[in-house]
Amino acid sequence: MQNNTKTGRKPNIRISQSDHARLSVLASTVAARNPEAADELLAELERARIVADRWVSAGTGLPMVEISGLTIVPSARILYAATHGRSAWSMELP
């Protein structure tokens, strides 16, 4: 994973319990075919913060609807979200 160019640190990772379990199984499955990728995935999973399997609010100002597309502009630290029938939204990232 590429380091954050401004601070030299890797970004924080939050992952649900079920996604952590699925990705751990994936890493074990591909370990024989691609050990480097499996090691990298396991290392990232090790530093991830595991959260409960539930919806979490990403911030304020976004509608409570399905998001059909996300785009992040890393240099500007802005997340753009496209919804179905509710327009497009933007949110500044920390």
Q: How many CB atoms lie within 10 A of CB 41?
A: 19
pLDDT digits (tens, 9 = 90+) for 14-49: 888 999 999 999 999 999 999 999 999 999 999 998
Q: Which two tokens stand for residue 17?
A: 């319990």
pLDDT digits (tens, 9 = 90+) for 52-71: 887 666 677 777 788 888 89
pTM of the complete model? 0.51
Domain boundaries, the chain: 1-55, 57-94
In the block, residue with structure tokens 């939050």: 14
Angle, vertex CA 89, rays to CA 19 and CA 82, nearest 5:
60
